[in-house]
Amino acid sequence: MLELYQWELSQYSEKVRLILDFKGLDYRKIEVTPGIGQVELFRLTGQKQVPVLKDRNRYIADSTEIAKYLDLEYPDRPIIPQDPKKRGLTLLIEEWADESIGIKGRKALFAAISQDQNFRKSLLPTSTPDIFKSLVGGVPTDLLTVLGFGVGYSPDIIQSAIASLKQDLEAVTLLLADSPYLTGDEPTLADLAVASLSILLKFPSGPYLDLPASIRGKGLPIFSENIDYEPFFTWRDRLYAQFRKPLISTTPPTGSAPTSIQID
């Protein structure tokens, strides 16, 4: 079985999960705890960032490289068209989505979690121990603001990202106005990338992520509650209903649960 080293809230991990589901491939999730878990991931794969896909004895890092690998090794239900024009457009939109919706979405979410400790706790996987949830929720807002400056998330940069995201969502909505998918009548990597990378703006309404049910369909109000973007999120949720497999249970029986990397 394929194994996906991931973080549940990572949009790039979600991008790979959606691709795997679209192709009908079975896989096992291995949750990598940010920080200490990345040390063990590096020991195993030479790569600290998720997602990383393991197929037999091979490790593939980066969501784009994973997408290309899966289309080559598992060609059923292709996601990268053979037609030169559609292929070029698909790869162009996918790369744009990675650099635009993916990165800017993180910045917008950081602003929200910096201001609301309950929201911070609600974003943790349901399997997270209560003691860790308490630690995360107890981080002072001022400290998070300082940390934000440290990683380049100043208030001005965050506001710029939000303004740019508004334009991005408007552009995608226009592209979908007279077409069911971004590059034509069939879904491609472009659609799967844009849809999955948008989860931090508004979570899918279905049980697709290992997060509390109370935040399904919720998100950053500036996007999730704005009627101008309703057509986009309606399209996104319809795509999820078509291709994303819902979670059977967030608390599977012992032996079938996603594995967490542990370091003694």
246 preceded by a cis bond (ω within 30 of 0): no
Tell me whether the CATH fold assigned to 2-73 matches the one assigned to 84-243: no
Encoded amino acid at 108, one letter: A
**For the chain, what are the domain ranges?**
2-73, 84-243
Residue 137 has what pLDDT?
A: 45
pLDDT of residue 41: 82
What pLDDT, on the 0 to 100 scale, is given for residue 45?
A: 79
- What does each C-alpha distance from 12 to 53, 95, 199, 242 come to in angstroms? 12, 12, 10, 20
At 182, the amino acid letter reads L
Structure confidence at residue 112 (pLDDT): 66
Q: Are strands 259-260 and 52-55 parallel, antiparallel or unpaired?
A: unpaired
- Tell me, what amino acid is at 66? I
How does pLDDT run along the chain (264 residues), one tens digit per residue? Answer: 899 999 998 999 999 999 999 999 999 999 887 776 777 788 877 878 899 999 999 999 999 999 999 999 999 999 999 999 999 999 999 999 999 999 999 888 877 665 555 555 556 555 554 544 443 444 444 433 433 333 456 778 888 999 999 999 999 999 999 999 999 999 999 999 999 999 999 999 999 998 888 889 988 889 999 999 999 999 999 999 999 999 985 444 333 333 333 322
Assigned architecture for domain 2-73: 3-Layer(aba) Sandwich (3.40)
pLDDT of 118 reads 56
Tell me what pLDDT residue 25 has: 98
Rg (CA), the chain: 18
CATH 1.20.1050.10 matches 84-243: yes
Beta strand 58-61 with 259-260 is unpaired
**Segment (H or E) for 28:** strand 27-31
- Residue 209, classified by CB atoms within 10 Å of its CB into exposed (0-12), middle (13-18) or buried (19+), is buried
